[in-house]
Structure 1
Amino acid sequence: MADGGWIKVYRKIRQSFVWTDANQLKLWLLILMKASHDGNRFLFNGQQVDVSSGQFVTGRDAIASEFNAGAKPVQRVSGRQLWRWIKLFEKEQMLSIKSNTKYSVITVISWGEYQEDDQRLSITSPSSVHQVSTIKNAKNAKNANKRDSQHPRKREYADDSPELIEATYLWEKIKSNNPEHRKPNLQAWADDIRKMHEIDKRPFDKIHRMIDWCQSDTFWQTNILSVAKLREKYDTMKAQANRSYISRRAPARKEAVPEWMQEGYHPPKQEVSAEDKAELAEKLKKLEQLRSRNATSS
């Protein structure tokens, strides 16, 4: 789901049980907004997942984070409660859930009926109305093409695209280090993630791990405050991270202990020659005479 996209909501939703509960209604709308319009591939917790039309990948913590974004503490709903409601939606055959140990794939049942094209409705219109509508649409298309040629359209990334997921992940890490940091343009950040992946040939899982590393490092967490800076300093941080990894794996260097410090050491016995003994006795005699003179003078 892109920020500028749209979904259909049928009026008969007012007859559903979700209409009577504001939070359940909000959750159902969030599910419809997250469902992929076409098939897509994106990254979830460092793992690439393929989904079909009407599907999206999530988990209890992920859905709670999106549901409670911007809500006051008293308005937040726990992930456990949200998942109970999702299971209720499954029981009412509104969706299906396929889970493993890492994530769940949610499929909106009858997605095509929710989001089918409006063209089928226009076929039943009177020919005169259809002709006027066709002329008007052609004119609008021409004007739109003219505007697009003058202002190239920026890429728009869906919420479940790997580019926007990684951009949002970096923002959440930065915000956890500094809750007062201003929210960035996540679409622009997602485009920089795309450049890292397509131009710099960085796999998404390695980008994800580099975000973790730089935002846990006391120096880099104050310097990497955008995807552009992450891209610029990626090689420098990679080299530093590799050095840290190698130093942790290298065995500790052991200093050699001198022989005389080892337990049970006994100095070797040395034989003293007669000449050395005589010389030592002469020195002791002179030292004793010097001591006696000092004692007399005092």
Structure 2
Amino acid sequence: MENQKSGYVPLYRSVLKQAWSKDVYLRTLWENLLLSAARKPFTASFKGKQWHLSVGQLVATAADLGLQLCDRKGNPASRDQVERMLQVFVREGMISIDGEKQKGRVITITNYSEYAQKIDDLPAHEAAHEAAHGEASNGAALKVVAAHGGAHEAAQHEQEGNNNNIKTSSSENSDESSDKPGNKLPVLRPEAAIQSGTKWGNSEDLRCAEWLFSVVQSISSTAKKPNYAAWANDIRLMRQRDHRTHKEIAVLFRWACEDAFWKGNVLCPATLREKWTQLDIKRNKRPAANGQARQEIDYNNTDWISGVLDEKFF
């Protein structure tokens, strides 16, 4: 009965076949994300802000997630450790992340509908949530339990619910339907060249996504084929919400993949979007040569790009 009140998600044995699952922290983090994701669209209160979450989404910070990953002595995982673990899931196409690290980010689980279970008709479900939250809500609350001392009490995680498809913040998807079975089907976008659930992109977004992956393949020929719907969606959001052009996206991604530090760290549009400002700042630094700064490249002049990028993309 207690399980029925709290809800559940199936955990597939195929997870054990994944290389990353051998890391107990990675596997636990993945399970925590699944169990904390929103089962229905709802508004969560987190760090004094209202977050409109879609199915399969949760709002968190790396520090909060680290508090749920403790060693035997009760020491939580650090923020940096969690960030590196989250990037593993991003590269695997399992999640996408959007938002500010300190203020909270929306994590969207790809294909969450495969994990979600309809529990509205389970005994005492609604009554249990009304008793727990004072009103009907959408699943188990993601709250930090102070099981390891007062340090954990500092994190005020007020989020309620479980979560859906890998994508960006609710502000980006609040007008899109979920693809969870039993709910209304997602809106089919007539301009979409590719769409999976609420993630979609037009033909140029998809074309750009394919080109970006060709750059990744030039670094690693064994790179796993990405979820192109998710990649195209990230590119579309950069274009529509961040006002980047496809050319700007391609140029900065190519630069990151050739930079000594960023090479291997920026391997998908989601990471490119998150790190855009840092990447752009470093790219535009003018290193001194013989005590004098080099002439700055005029990125408004497209002559310099000739021969650098694949002409068939542009």
Q: TM-score range by the shorter chain?
A: 0.3 to 0.5
Give the strand-richer structure, 1 or 2.
2
Tell me the TM-score normalised to structure 2 length. Answer: 0.38
Tell me the TM-score normalised to structure 1 length. Answer: 0.40
Task: Indicate the structure whose relative CO is greater, using CA pairs within 8 Å and at least 6 residues apart.
Answer: 2
Q: Which has the larger radius of gyration?
A: 1
